[in-house]
Amino acid sequence: MECLTLKKSNCKNCYKCIRNCPVKSIRFSGNQAYIIENECVLCGHCFVVCPQDAKQIVDETEKVKVLMQTGEPVIASLAPSFIANYDGVGLEAMREALKKLGFTDVEETAIGATMVKREYERMVKQADQDVIITSCCHCVNLLIQKHFPQLLSCLAGVLSPMQAHCRDIKKRVPGAKTVFIGPCIAKKDEAQLSEGLVDAALTFDELTAWLKEKNIPIEQKSDADEYSRARFFPTSGGILKTMSPGQTDYQYMVIDGMENCIAALRDIESGKVHKCFIEMSACAGSCIGGPVMEKFHRSPIRGYMSVTGYAGSKDFLVEQPSQSDLVKEFEVILQNNTIPDDEKIRETMLQMGKTKPEDELNCGSCGYNTCREKAIAILQGKAEISMCLPFLKEKAENISDTIARNSPNGLIVLNEKLEVQQVNLAARRILNLRSAEDILGDQVVRIMEPADFEQVLSTGRPLRDKREYLAEYGRYVEKTIVYDKDYKTLLGILRDVTDEEMQREKKEDISRQTVEIADKVVDKQMRIVQEIASLLGETAAETKIALTKLKESISDE
C-alpha cells in the first residue's frame, strides 16, 4: 500500500487520527501512531486532520520523471475535478502546462468515466444484480473488500474511470506510459494494483509543487465543450446525472461520506435492501471533497459550481470497449483480528479503571466509540491503556490528591489574583481552617500576609525556606513560594516548625540557665578561693612573725 507514511517525530500523541478514522485502522505503540495496512481504506481522513502534518502522502513525482526519461510517450489522465482545484483553468491550459513538464499529452479521465457509466447502464438494463454499488471509488471498494466482504457481490464488477481510460490510452498509443492526476490518495494504491494499466499516480498537490519548481504558470482560460457530460463524475450524484437508465425496477440513490457509506453497507448487510443502484463515494461531496482538496483547497460550493459549469450535456464521443475489457474482479482482503473472549475484555476493562458500568463514559477521546471497543483494541495490540484520557486524568488527580492529602507540609495554591484555589489538610491545620470551602475563591490576605506572594509574582523568583512566626495562629513555619508561569499559579508550601522552634527555645533557655548557674558557681568558687587565700595569707603572716621572733630569741642566746 505504500501511499501514506508517518513522520514519527511529528506524532504528538493527540489521537486525532484514530478519532477520525472510520475503520479504526491505526495502531498506537510507544505513543506513536502506525497505519494498519490491511485494514486501512485510504480515505485520507488521518492525513486531513493531523495537526502536526505527521501523515504524508508518498510523492511519486520522481517516479514520473523516470518514466519520462525512458523515451516512451507519457500521457496524463487528468481527473475531471481539476477544474475545482485550479480555478478558471480549462483542459487546454492544463495540457500546455503539463507538456512543458515533459508529458507527451494530457487527456481527461472523464473519457474513461463515459465508458464506465455506459457499462453501468447495461447492468441496470440487464438487472441480473439485486443491489449494484458503483466501483469508481477505490476507498469504497477497499471498505467492502476489507470490512464487508459478504457484500462483494454487490460491487459492480467494472473498472474505475481511471483504469478504463488508461487501458484505452495504452490500446491507442503503443508503449505509452500512463499517469493519473487527481485529488485522491487511494488512486495511488489502485494504480499499483492495476496490472500495468496505470504506471503512476500524482495528486493535485504534487503537480502544483512540480509546476512551481519549474516555474511554469497555468493560464486562466476555459474551453467548455458540450460533449463532456462525464465531467459531472467528481460531484455527489454525478454518475447518476450522466446515466440514462430508462425504465427499470431499481431505486437510485447517492451515498457520500465514509460514515454514511458504512451505515448504508450495514443496511444492505441486514438483507432488507433490494433492487437498488447506489452511487457510493467515500468523500463528502464525492471527488471534489477528496483529501487533497479538503486539506489544501476546500471550497465545496465553488468546486461544485466549477465542475457543473464546465460539464457538457452530451457524452464524450468515444468508442465503447467490449464488456470483457471493462470487467474487474474483487477479492476478499482478510483481516488478522480475532475478537477476544468476554473474560479477557473484563480484565482489560478493570486495568482501564472501568470497574462498574457508570465508569464506562464512552467519551471517544481515545478514538474508539465505546470503552469496550477500546479494550478489544488493546487486546488486539492496536491501542494502549494510557490512551484513555479520563482514566489518566482521574489517575493523575488521585495521585496528586493522595500526595497533597498525605503531605505533612501545608500546600496552598493561588491564582494570579492571589485568590486561593486549593488548600490541603495540613495547611488547614496550620491556619486553623475548618474546611477548604471557608477560604476557596477568597483573597489569601484573609489568612496570611500576602507580601511574599506578591513579591514572587512580580519578580518570578522563588522564595525558599523563609522562617516566619504566624502570631495569629501561634505557629512557626518555613515558607516556600514558587510561581508557575505556564499555569499562572502560585504554590505556597508551609512547613510547620513550631515544635522545632519550641525545642530550640527550650534548648536556648536551658543553655542560658546553665550559663547562669555556671557563672554563679564560678563566682562562688572565686569567693571561696579568695577567702581561703585570705586565711592562708593571715596564717602565713602570723607564722612568719612567730618564726622570726623564735629566730631572734635563739640568736640572742
Q: Could you give the 3-state DSSP secondary structure of residue 544?
A: helix
Does residue 537 fall inside a structural domain?
no
Residues 400-404, mean pLDDT to the nearest whole number: 73
Q: Are residues 166 and 28 in the same domain?
A: no
Does residue 354 fall inside a structural domain?
no
Report the percent of the chain where pLDDT is more than 70.
Answer: 95
Full-model pTM: 0.72
Rounded to whole angstroms, the Cα distance separating 352 from 319 reads 62
The answer, yes or no, to whether residue 383 has pLDDT greater than 70, is yes
Does residue 303 fall inside a structural domain?
yes
Does residue 476 fall inside a structural domain?
yes
From 496, 514, 540, the end of a domain falls on 496
Does residue 132 fall inside a structural domain?
yes
Q: Are residues 37 and 125 in the same domain?
A: no
Q: Are residues 262 and 306 in the same domain?
A: yes
Residue type, 461: R
The region of weakest confidence among 154-168, 421-435, 444-458, 499-513 is 499-513
* pLDDT value of residue 345: 86
Q: Are residues 245 and 287 in the same domain?
A: yes
CATH of the domain at 34: 3.30.70.20
pLDDT band at 404 (very low <50, low <70, confident <90, very high): confident
Report the percent of the chain where pLDDT is more than 90.
Answer: 57
pLDDT band at 52 (very low <50, low <70, confident <90, very high): confident
Does residue 334 fall inside a structural domain?
no
439: domain range?
407-496
| Cβ burial, residue 419 (10 Å; 0-12/13-18/19+) | middle
Residues 434-460, mean pLDDT to the nearest whole number: 92
The answer, yes or no, to whether residue 116 has pLDDT greater than 60, is yes
Residues 343-361, mean pLDDT to the nearest whole number: 80
Q: Are residues 36 and 184 in the same domain?
A: no
* pLDDT value of residue 134: 97
* pLDDT value of residue 396: 59
Does residue 332 fall inside a structural domain?
no
Does residue 234 fall inside a structural domain?
yes
**What are the residue ranges of helices labelled H in 179-337?**
186-192, 204-213, 238-242, 258-269, 291-296, 300-310
3-state secondary structure 328-354: CCCCCCCCCCCCCCHHHHHHHHHHCCC
The answer, yes or no, to whether residue 340 has pLDDT greater than 90, is no
The answer, yes or no, to whether residue 247 has pLDDT greater than 80, is no
Mean residue pLDDT across the chain: 88
Q: Could you give the 3-state DSSP secondary structure of residue 273?
A: coil
CATH of the domain at 422: 3.30.450.20
Number of domains in the chain: 3
From 496, 513, 547, the end of a domain falls on 496
Distances (CA, A) of 268 to 426, 468, 538: 64, 77, 134
**What are the residue ranges of helices labelled H in 314-408?**
342-351, 371-379, 389-406
180-239, pLDDT tens digit by residue?
999 999 999 999 998 889 999 999 999 999 999 999 999 888 787 888 999 999 999 999
User: Buried b / exposed e across 127-153, counting CB within 10 Å, b at 16+?
Assistant: eebebbbbbbbbbbbbbbbbbbeebbe
User: Which three cell numbers, joined as nine digits, stand for 49?
Assistant: 486532520
Q: Are residues 52 and 78 in the same domain?
A: no
Q: Are residues 30 and 124 in the same domain?
A: no
Sole residue written with cell 484505452: 168
From 473, 496, 519, the end of a domain falls on 496
* pLDDT value of residue 230: 94
Q: Are residues 157 and 279 in the same domain?
A: yes
Q: Are residues 21 and 80 in the same domain?
A: no
The region of weakest confidence among 321-330, 355-364, 368-377, 506-515 is 355-364
* pLDDT value of residue 324: 93
The answer, yes or no, to whether residue 1 has pLDDT greater than 60, is no
Query: Are β-strands 251-256 and 276-281 bridged in parallel, bridged antiparallel, or unpaired?
Result: parallel
Q: Are residues 40 and 109 in the same domain?
A: no
The answer, yes or no, to whether residue 518 has pLDDT greater than 60, is yes
Q: Are residues 112 and 47 in the same domain?
A: no
Q: Are residues 124 and 197 in the same domain?
A: yes
**Is-contact 281 140, C-beta < 8 A?**
yes
